[in-house]
Amino acid sequence: MKWDDNTRFLVVFFVTLVVAFSVIAWNPVNDQVIVPFTKSITWVSGALLNLIGQDVTVTNTVIYSRHFAVDIKNGCNGVEAMLLVLSAIVAFPATMRSRMIGIIGGSLAVQTLNFVRIVSLFLLGRYYPKVFQLFHTGVWQILIILAGVGVFLFWSLRFAQPRRLETNP
């Protein structure tokens, strides 16, 4: 059976996504990689909040002030959106160099938006608590996933260089 390019993309995308999510769900990987990564995301977000005068403290994955606190958990650390981008890039026919550009650039783009997300959610929780939950579970979840899709589309149109297929004489 010969697969067309679209079928191949979808199969590789979903297999890569399932494998990647399985790896990060494995306790040793979660405890030794994801939790420290989340702590660093929390620390940077806390630093950004302090930079804009919010007087917050960071402990592990919690950002708190005397008015409000958020705990950055899996699902809020941007890792899932990064895996979405990574899986799409791996599945797309491109050179290894193009893929590396996409994975690194895409991860940076997703995490930059995730910092905006965390800071804005803290500010919403602090100053507009009635809309916090709506933005936390609705608006920002959708925006982060759409950003991942957008990053992939941008990369695929702008940076993906197709692999050269060898031809037999």
Can you give the pTM of this predicted structure? 0.88
Question: Is 43 within 8 Å of 62 (Cβ atoms)?
Answer: no
Give the span between the Cα atoms of 43 and 24, in whole angstroms. 21
Nearest to 53 by CA among 41, 42, 65: 65
* Those residues with Cβ within 8 angstroms of residue 132's Cβ, 6 or more apart along the chain or in another chain: 121, 124, 125
Q: For residue 156, what are its two tokens?
A: 């695929």
Give the span between the Cα atoms of 5 and 11, in whole angstroms. 10
In the chain, where are the structural domains located?
Answer: 5-158
Q: For residue 159, what are its two tokens?
A: 């940076």
Give the span between the Cα atoms of 93 and 9, in whole angstroms. 8
For 58-115, what is each residue's pLDDT tens digit? Answer: 999 999 999 999 999 998 999 999 999 999 999 998 999 999 999 999 999 999 999 9
